[in-house]
Structure 1
């Protein structure tokens, strides 16, 4: 019974922490023309970068090196 109670307590604590961490600051509105211009400029830069990446040729895939250190040597068959 103690293990079940402890598990429930830990689960509720984790859910509470997750809910608290996801609190939203909300959407803010601004009538400042300088801020609006800055946002529009950044959006255009991001769009330009995205279009450049789409039109660029894909980069070649790196070759995979098979290292002997990653795998254990097989044991010799017993005779």
Structure 2
């Protein structure tokens, strides 16, 4: 029961935050074609950058080697 009430509380908090963001000039409507073109251009630029970042290979992390210590045991020397 606690998990359900916690989930409901979190959902209501998220909805309240979204509604508040829209009332504080977060979302505006405009019929200006220049503004619409600017927004579309920004969206295309963002999409292009995201695609380029996804296609670029991630840099490989450098391997760290400990000097002086070995993870392997030395082979036992044969007694003669």
Could you state the TM-score of these two structures normalised by the residue count of structure 1?
Answer: 0.47
